[in-house]
Amino acid sequence: GISDGQELDPSVVKAGRTLTSPIHSRSPVVQRALVLNGTPIRVPDGVGDLDRFSDLGSWTVESWVKLASATETGAIIKRTNENARESFELGVNNNQPYIRFETASGQAVVAGAQPSLALPAGEWVHLAGVFDSANDSLRLYVNGVGYQAQVTLLEPATDKGWTTLGEGLAGVLDEVRVWSYVRSGAEIEASRDRILNTPASLLGVVANYRFDDGQNTTVTNPLTGVVTGYGAEDSRYPLD
């Protein structure tokens, strides 16, 4: 047997194995992904009055996705403000990937969604969308390669709202990340195949969903006691 104190000590080895901590959702880390059924999953915006998605200038959003069929249409990750404007949306239209945003007046800017690039069903593909405010561009990357860039003088709508994963899609997501700056093609290519271990001090990471926290239907924040009905823990601000 082992004591309660030993359960929490990662240095203790029993029968040749380190122990599993009962209070840490990623102990041990098991590679998992998020299975989608078309129902959007809303993720927490922040703590208290902090809404980390509300006022991004330039940004990068990225994800691995495996679509269930050849006719999937929906949003991998989408930010919608209180006026029903999309601040950013990475998604597919009949398996054709796109990155888009809407202005405060509702005008849409899109890169991608071309019939010449329909993603295969049942295969993992990495997608990234980058909005560069300083250089007036919106760019889509597929498997680390720049696919299409859209020149625009328009800016995405901002303000408070909500952020969702997987709306309308059947398939699997993994390693969904949001950054508060322009990531270059080289940076996207270098990190897309790597697990991002995100300490709170890592610059520019707004959210990092690894989906390795198990089959949670709820998550309890031990600092505040708040129970949230989300099955995905954000490794940028982990709740363990």
Q: What is the chain's pLDDT, residue by residue, as a tens digit (240 residues)?
A: 455 455 445 555 555 555 555 445 555 556 678 899 999 998 877 655 557 888 888 999 999 999 999 999 999 999 999 999 999 999 999 999 999 999 999 999 999 988 889 999 999 999 999 999 999 999 999 999 999 999 999 999 988 889 999 999 999 999 999 999 999 999 999 999 988 776 555 678 888 888 876 544 454 544 455 554 444 555 555 543
- Residues 77-104 pLDDT 10s: 999 999 999 999 999 999 999 999 999 9
Tallying the residues shown for the chain, one arrives at 240
Query: What are the distances in angstroms from CA 96 to CA 88, 121, 137?
Result: 17, 11, 20
Query: Can you give the pTM of this predicted structure?
Result: 0.79
